[in-house]
Structures are given as structure tokens and as C-alpha cells.
A and B are shown apart, each in its own frame.
Chain A
Amino acid sequence: MNALTLVSVSKSFPSAEGRVEVLRGVSLTVPQGSAHALTGESGSGKSTLLHIAAGLELADAGRVLIGESDLTAADEAGRAALRRGQVGLIFQQFNLIPSLTVAANLGFQARLAARHDAGFITHLAERLGVADLMTRYPEQLSGGQQQRVAIGRCLAARPALVLADEPTGALDEATGDRVLDLMLDLTAETGAALLLVTHSPRLAARCGTRHHLRAGQLEQAP
């Protein structure tokens, strides 16, 4: 079964030179438990594709399925519910809720999705190396720590699909690699499918399947 299915998704934006077609009938499937990477130049539309996959943005045409649920047919509330229950999102930054402690952040989505499991969260925190930081607030963490918490927060809710948009983009290479390793290990561990958006072929190489977005269409990565 596929965790994410995109069928002929198109998206265009207005710009000074008329409408720019960012996505031209992109189709993609991410089967359960697999790890896919999506690469592309800056502005190639890979973030837009991810936003559409998460229901943060709407496609002009085409369909998006999360598991078997049709995201494109849902309204704002339906899309939010799907995100809440099925999808974990990890961005480059702004992942954490500044007014909550690390512990509260970790448990937040799981509680929203009614899948709170204190033992699992402790396990995740230990795996992620943030167990000592539980009472801190996000602003008191380093960038790497913040991203690790974001991964934990995302996985604690046991999503079927993890969508990550340059999760290590704001980190130095060594830290980024460690964070990415953790993310890959843990998604595999929890059985979640992963779609990782990155501009780095080096990082993309660590995923089982790679896609490259060029001129609004997918091509098999080199």
C-alpha cells in the first residue's frame, strides 16, 4: 500500500512574466515503509510539491492521496485532520512551539492525534539524545537539538508518512548527517514512509529511491 500518492499534480503561480508552471502533471507514489528523496534546483518546485502533499497548499489539478484518503477532495478542516492523524512534517526551522517545553513539544502532536505513549516518547528522546533537555524551551536549544526534537515530535505521533523539507538545511554538515541518520533510522524503525526534500545529492543518496524535479516534471535521478 502507498503512504502517499500524487497523480498528475499541476501547480502554477502568478509572476511578473505571467503564470509560471511549477509542477506539470507530476505523479509519484511513496509506498509504506520506504524512503524517497526528492532533489531539484532552487525554485524547481520541490517545496511546493511537499506543501501540496501535506495539504498546506492546493494543487491546480491532479489528485493527492494520503494512504487511501483523498486529500484533494477534503476541505481545510479535513486536510488539517489528515495532517494531524497521518502526516508528520519537518521543516528547516519553525518546527517547534516556542511556548512549550521540549517535553510538551515532543508529546504535542501525539496527544493531538490521540496516540500518546509516554514510554515511546521516552524511548524516542533517548534515541535522539534529548532526554536531558526535556524541561528546556526551544529557544534554549541549538539548531541540531531543535531539529532532533522536531523529529521526535513528528515520530511520537506515529504518522504513516513523514514529509521533511531540508530538515538539516540550517545545520553544519556533521550535525546534519547525524540528524539525518537518526531520522532515517527512526522512520525505518517506526515503519513510516519518508519523503525527503533536499537540494543535496549527497543526502538524497542515502534514501532508497530518488526523484529529481526539473522543469516541473519528475525524472529518475542520475
Chain B
Amino acid sequence: MIRATLSALLSHWVRNKLQLAMLLAGLALATALWSGVQALNTEARSAYATAEALLSEGETARLEHRSGQVSLSDFLTLRQAGWLVSPILEGRLTLGEARVTLIGIEPLTAPPGAGPALAAEDLSRFFAGHGFAHPQTLREIGPHTPDLQSSEAVPVGTVLVDIGTAQRLLETDQLSALTLGQTQPEGLRPLETLTPDLRLIPPGEGAELAGLTDSFHLNLTAFGLLAFAVGLFIVHSAVGLAFEQRRAMFRTLRALGLPLRHLTACLAAELLVFALVAGTIGLVLGYALATLLMPDVALTLRGLYGAPVPGALAFNPLWALAGLAMALGGTALAGAQALWRLWRLPLLAPAQPRAWAHASARGLRLQTGLAAALALLAMFLALRGTGLVAGFTLLAAVLLAAALTVPLVLTVLLRLAERAARGPLTEWFWADSRQNLPRLSLALMALMLALAANIGVGTMVASFRATFIDWLDLRLVAEVNVMPRSAEEASALRAFLTPRTEGILPMQRVDAQLASQPAQIYAMKDHATFRDNWPLIDPVPGVWDRLAAGEGVLVNEQLYRRAGLLAGDMLDIPQAGSLPVLGAYPDYGNPLAQAVLALPLFNEVWPETPIRQFAVRTDNATELIAALQDDFGLSPAQITDQAQAKEISLAIFERTFLITRALNVLTLSVAALALFAALVTLAGMRLAQLAPLWALGLTPRQLAGLELTRALVLGALTMLLALPVGLMLAQVLLAVINVQAFGWRLPMQIFPDDWARLGLWAALAILAAASLPALRLWRHGPAQLLRVFAAER
């Protein structure tokens, strides 16, 4: 019985191959986008987990000097007092073709944990300069790395070497920090008396990669979910249509004595099989997608947060299972309504066309109510919400509310158009569009979401880009930057540069805690470079003079916003006391809090802080760089010119948003597919609606043209709706999400060119989606339409 039932049920799909293809494609695409995004997230998270598992296992506290440098004698003092500490040296270095983080450790004293095992013979190789790096780092460095050995235990972008090797390569005799072993002997002299200059950084601090990157992953997940939801629209409409079309068959089967339970089970089984097949295809596609995007994601995460993420994707069975489960769950969700209707279907339901208008009026009221509730929630969150999760909830509420109001707004618009229409055909056109809206509304909502997301994210990225470029121009005002390697070289450089340049701005920094956040404090020389070029947020009157007089500090926007500071508020600066905040400055791309003090005050509080860098003003950068290299003997690595710096910054910026754009395009494609599915579905059902018109003397060609026009008009209206929603989205991204995630707020700028481009793309997508059903109507119209009448008896 079951077999006979199944073969009867499945025969439907054999005859409706396009419908089957839509169902599978929708589900596969939904699964692909979702699982692709999840694969990226999983990979990145496992990379953080590697780093953090090591960290928490070691549970290593650290000792640091505010200058960022620890001397060997500090190490010896503590060891000889019985403290189990181990030295670390860290720095950036160009190796081969890659810029890497070099980490030097002392294996004999390093606290326990996991990592590449060193056999005894390796130890002498390690001492002799052989290091470890992730296979990907090795590839990035290129072929000239005889001294590096591949190890998966080392984070990407990092080269691990012996402390002595690191000192040689970084040309220093200093250390970056001392790590404190987890268990220490009892009864030792306290650290504060032994090394009063060193600061104890408790374990766990800094292990916030996951927290920091949450916003990025939330962003990806949101996109994945959006795409998945859009894909489910497709599945829903395909499943719904198949059920609708097989009503007569269900009736017959039940009339023949098939129990309802059996029939429902068979249909559920059919859905299960589809879900498994499509889910598997989706997983393959998702994996391919993730593999394609992974290098960019890795670069973004490394660039944005310094998170060590490999560019290659590992296959994770759990991920595959989760993806399949998602496909099954999605299918269940999309098919639930149809199965429920089947369950409730009276044995001999009248075979009349459904009363759409009635059902949709009720649905519309429900949707409108829900949209209103969501809008209220969004308003509440916009006024009261704090935190990243609230920000994203706000985003979701705005999007959903907007999506839910799409049918209502379109209905109203179409009704207005209908009123204004003159002539029977235009009247019919609008009336018919309105009547068929419920069938299309899911797809149109999906399209609206995709378009709004595109506009919103596009506006955010473009605004950010514009602001960032302006900011870079102001910030990178120094023509040449030079990094001295030692205090001696610094003073020699100053003497060398003074007669040759317009101005020398030394850069000194100490690490500290500000408003209980890890922070850096910089010294700023009073110079026109800063007075003329630094844009300030909320400055007090006479800010530059007061800063130069040591009467206060400037803070970066991140600190300003996170600590809720206002101009004039007092800020505790360790060792310098409490100083008023004179203003804030934008500091895009920096996760840390920052404060700026006048150079004289800085040197008073922290004398002998090493000079890390000179920003040099000059009329002739080329000549100066040549002189620095040829006459002074600086290595090229110590010099950066302005153009170079700008170029690198922009390149990283572009890569950062590449993935966002890719996902945007994919979401839009899925939305177009959803529309296509809905239109194909609709086309089958609309024959009976169009047949009378044909009988009344309209040609199939006219009818096809009207169908195409209808899709375009609905698309255009949707695009119009998406525009304000997208701008609202951009505003939330710029003013809420960015502030929460990164700590800076960006002014929104409008880019109508982008909208026009998007509109064009949307129109093309709609045309592509609507043209197949329209073409079929045109070509095979008479035969199909005639069947409506011929099949009536």
C-alpha cells in the first residue's frame, strides 16, 4: 500500500520537473548559504579555541613594563627569588614575502601546555635558530625558509623561535614580557618589591578574541540566516503548490481507503527524502562557497582583530550534521502548513478555488499586527537598548517589521493605482496584481529584505570608506615615518633629521589601564600638524592650547564612547593623576582605548620612555628617504612613506568588506530565485484566471507582456520600499552596531548612484525570474488556456 501510495505521490514530480527543481534548488541554496557561513564561523572559532584553549590551559599571567620592554635582569631577579617566570619577546618582521609576528620563547622555563613537541635533537636545532610556523604561514613566506618547520600548533601568521633567535632577528637585547607559571612556590618575596616597575597582567586578560570577533560572526550569521529564510520561502511555495495540485489525488487516495495517517506519513517521508538530497547538495555547495571565501575571511579577521585564522578550511563532520539538521528543520517548517492542511482536509473538500481574498485579509491583519509589535520593539531598543546583541536585535526587528508590512503597503499602493486606473485592462491589471499579491508576498518580502540589506550594508561600507579616506588623509599627514631601533639611534636620528626637515614629531607610548580598559597613552608634541589636521569630537574651547599646557588629555572615540565621557570629565591617568578630557578624536581601526598627553607632561610622568617612531614633515620625501638610507644607514624596513601607508590601509579596508559584498550578491540572487519560484508556481495557477481574458479577445502575447510588466512593477515598488528600510538599516549599522562593536560612530552619506545600480540589477533579476513563465505563456498559451475550458467536464 505504502509503495503504491508513494509511487502515486511521486508521479507528480515526474510530471512537474521544474517544480521539483525549484524545491531542491531552494532548499539546497538555503542550506548552502547557511552552512557555508557556518563553516566560516566554525573554522574561525576553532582557530580562536586553539589559541584560547592553550591560554586557559596554561592560565598564564604576565608581567609587563609600561614601556613594553622588560630587561633580562628583571627575569634573573625574579628567577633568583624563586619565581617561575619565563621570558617572551614579540615583534613584527618581514620574512620572505610575508609580514609575520615573531615570537621568541625560552623552552626550558616556559610553563606547561600543548604545542609542537620538541624532541631532544629538536631542542638543539631550536636553540640554533630553527623555528616553527603554521603550514600556511610557510606558504605565505615563500620558498626561502630553510630554518622553519611546519607545525599546526602555531597560529597562522606567527613564527615561533627561540628567545635568542628572536632577539637576533629583532635586533634587541630586551624582552617583551615575562610569563608567570601557574603554580609558584610558597613563601616567595612579593613581586612588587622585587620588580616594582613591572605590571602584573592577570591570566585571561586579552583572551577576548571570541568576544571581539563576535560582531563579525554575528554579522555573518545574520546574513546566513537571512539567506536561509529566503531559501525557505522558495521551499514553502514549492511544497505548498505541490500539495495544492495534488488535492484531487489525495482525495482519490483517501476515497480508495488509504488512512490519513499513512498519507501524511508518506508525504512527510517524501519531504524528508527531498530535505536529505537537497541538504547534501547544499552542504557540498556550502563547503565550496566557504572554501572560496575563507581566505578573505581569514584576512579580515587577522587584519581587523589580529585573530590567528588559517585561510584554509578543514572539514568538520559536526558542521555537516548541523547543516543537514538545518535543512531538515527548514523543510519541516516550510512543509508544516501543507501537512497541517492535509491533516485537516475534509474527505470531500469542495474543489473550488480557494478564497484567497478572505484568507489573505486575515493573514494581512495578523502580519500588520506583528509588524507593529516589532516596530515598537525596535523603537524601544533604539531608545533604550545597549550592547551588541540589542543592536542586532534592533536590526532584526527593523528588517522583519519592514518585511511584514510589505504586503500591506503594496496592497494599499495597488488599490490606489486601481482607483486611478482608466480603461478595463489597466483596471484589471491592478486589481489582478492586488489579488495575486498574497501568493507573491513571501517572495517580495524576501526581495525587499535582500534589497534593503544591500542598500544598508552598501551605504554603511561606502560611508565608512568615504569617512575613512578623509580621515587617513588627515592622519597620514607626516610625509615619512621612521622607526629607531634604540635610544642611541633615536637621538642620532633626531640630530640627523633636524636640519633636513620641517618638523619632527616623536612618538612615545606607554601601556596602561584607562577607565578599567586596556589602553595606550601617547605623547603629542605641540605642532601645527596636529592643530591643523586632527578632527575633534566635542572639543572644549582652546583645546590645543590647553593640551599643550598639560591641562588635560584627548581621548580616542572608542574610550570616549565606551566610558561615556564628556568634555570636561575627569579621567584617571595612572601616575599622572586625574586630568580633564579636552575632547575626543576618531581613531578608526583601533580596538584599544587611547589617550594623548602633551609631550612635556608625558616625559615628566614617564621619563626615558623609548621613542618608537618619528613622524617627519618634509617637502621632499624621496630625497629624505634616500638620505636616511644612504647617509644615515637606516634599513628600508625602518622607513615608511605616506603613500605606502595609505595604499596598505586601503587595500586592507577593501578586503575587509569583500566578504560582505559577496554575501550581499548571493542573498540577492537567492531572493531572485525565490521570486522565480513564486512566479513559476503562480503561472500554473493563473491559467484559469487568464483563460477568460483570452476568450474575451486578448492574445497570449499581450497576456505575457502584462505578466512581465506586473513582475517589474511589483519589483519596482518593492525596491522603493527597500530604499527607506535600507537607509534605516545603514543608520542602525553606523550609529548603533559600529559604536557597540568597534566604538566609533560614522556619519551616514548617501550614494544614489549605488541605488540606481542596485535598481538596475534588481530589475534584471526580476526580468530573469519573470521571463520564463511569461515566455511559456506566450509560446504555449493557447494550448494551455484551452485546456482550462476543455478540462471543464
Residues of A bordering B, CB below 8 Å = 42, 47, 51, 54, 56-57, 76-77, 80-85, 87, 89, 91-100, 104, 107-109, 111-113, 137, 139, 165-166, 169
B519 CB to nearest chain A CB (Å):
66
A166 CB to nearest chain B CB (Å):
7
A139 touches B353 (CB 8 A): yes
B698 touches A91 (CB 8 A): no
Interface centre among B355, B696, B788 (most CB of A within 10 A): B696
Q: Mark B663-704, 1 if CB is under 8 A from A, else 0.
A: 000000000000000000000000011011111111111100
| Complex interface residues of chain B between 749 and 793 (CB less than 8 A to chain A) | 782, 785-786, 788-790, 792-793
Given contacts A94-B788, A98-B435, contact A109 B699 (CB under 8 A): no
A137 to B357, CA, bound (A): 10
Q: For A85, give the chain B residue with the smallest CB separation.
A: B697
**Chain B residues with Cβ under 8 A from A94's Cβ?**
688, 691-692, 788-789, 792
A87 to B694, CA, bound (A): 12
B742 CB to nearest chain A CB (Å):
51
Q: State which of A76, A92, A137 has its C-beta within 8 Å of the C-beta of B699.
A: A76
A169 touches B355 (CB 8 A): no
A77 touches B789 (CB 8 A): no
20 additional A-B pairs beyond A85-B697, A166-B793, beta carbons within 8 Å, are: A51-B789, A51-B790, A56-B695, A57-B782, A76-B700, A87-B697, A89-B696, A96-B692, A97-B693, A98-B689, A99-B435, A99-B436, A104-B427, A104-B428, A109-B697, A112-B425, A112-B698, A139-B352, A139-B355, A169-B793
A131 to B87, CA, bound (A): 98
Q: For B686, give the chain A residue with the smallest CB separation.
A: A98
A84 touches B786 (CB 8 A): no
B424 touches A107 (CB 8 A): yes
A18 to B583, CA, bound (A): 93
A220 to B353, CA, bound (A): 40
Q: Mark B364-394, 1 if CB is under 8 A from A, else 0.
A: 0000000000000000000000000000000
B423 touches A111 (CB 8 A): yes
B431 touches A112 (CB 8 A): no
Interface centre among B352, B692, B788 (most CB of A within 10 A): B692
Q: Which 8 A-B pairs have the closest CB atoms?
A: A84-B697, A99-B435, A111-B424, A83-B697, A99-B432, A99-B431, A80-B699, A89-B695
Q: Mark B692-719, 1 if CB is under 8 A from A, else 0.
A: 1111111111100000000000000000
**Chain A residues with Cβ under 8 A from B695's Cβ?**
54, 56, 83, 89, 91, 95
A87 to B695, CA, bound (A): 9
A80 touches B355 (CB 8 A): no
B786 touches A99 (CB 8 A): no
| Complex interface residues of chain B between 334 and 358 (CB less than 8 A to chain A) | 352-353, 355, 357
A57 to B783, CA, bound (A): 8
Cβ of B236 within 8 Å of any chain A Cβ, yes or no, is: no
Cβ of B62 within 8 Å of any chain A Cβ, yes or no, is: no
Q: State which of A54, A92, A96, A139 has its C-beta within 8 Å of the C-beta of B793.
A: A92
Q: State which of A57, A85, A87, A97 has its C-beta within 8 Å of the C-beta of B689.
A: A97
| Complex interface residues of chain B between 210 and 260 (CB less than 8 A to chain A) | none
Residues of B bordering A, CB below 8 Å = 352-353, 355, 357, 423-425, 427-428, 431-432, 434-436, 688-689, 691-702, 782, 785-786, 788-790, 792-793
Q: State which of A81, A107, A137 has its C-beta within 8 Å of the C-beta of B697.
A: A81
A91 touches B792 (CB 8 A): yes
A76 to B793, CA, bound (A): 26
| 13 A-B pairs whose Cβ atoms sit less than 8 Å apart in the complex | A56-B695, A56-B785, A77-B701, A80-B697, A80-B698, A83-B697, A87-B697, A95-B695, A99-B428, A100-B427, A108-B424, A111-B424, A169-B792
B435 touches A92 (CB 8 A): no
A112 touches B424 (CB 8 A): yes
A57 to B782, CA, bound (A): 8
B439 CB to nearest chain A CB (Å):
12
Interface centre among A57, A84, A85, A91 (most CB of B within 10 A): A91
A165 to B81, CA, bound (A): 109
B56 CB to nearest chain A CB (Å):
65
Q: State which of B423, B434, B688, B696 has its C-beta within 8 Å of the C-beta of A109.
A: B696
A208 CB to nearest chain B CB (Å):
25
Q: State which of A51, A83, A99, A166 has its C-beta within 8 Å of the C-beta of B696.
A: A83
B515 CB to nearest chain A CB (Å):
64
**Chain B residues with Cβ under 8 A from A93's Cβ?**
792
Q: State which of B434, B692, B699 has its C-beta within 8 Å of the C-beta of A97.
A: B692
A77 to B436, CA, bound (A): 27
A99 touches B782 (CB 8 A): no
A112 touches B691 (CB 8 A): no
A112 touches B789 (CB 8 A): no
Interface centre among B427, B435, B789, B792 (most CB of A within 10 A): B789
**Chain A residues with Cβ under 8 A from B355's Cβ?**
139
Q: State which of A80, A81, A165 has its C-beta within 8 Å of the C-beta of B789.
A: A165
A96 to B431, CA, bound (A): 14
Q: For B431, give the chain A residue with the smallest CB separation.
A: A99
Q: State which of A76, A92, A109 has its C-beta within 8 Å of the C-beta of B792.
A: A92
Q: For A92, give the chain B residue with the smallest CB separation.
A: B792
**Chain A residues with Cβ under 8 A from B435's Cβ?**
98-99
Given contacts A57-B786, A99-B432, A99-B434, contact A77 B793 (CB under 8 A): no
**Chain B residues with Cβ under 8 A from A111's Cβ?**
423-424
A94 to B788, CA, bound (A): 8
A93 to B695, CA, bound (A): 12
**Chain B residues with Cβ under 8 A from A76's Cβ?**
699-701, 782
B705 CB to nearest chain A CB (Å):
12
Q: For A98, give the chain B residue with the smallest CB separation.
A: B689
A82 to B699, CA, bound (A): 11
A56 touches B782 (CB 8 A): yes
A100 touches B790 (CB 8 A): no
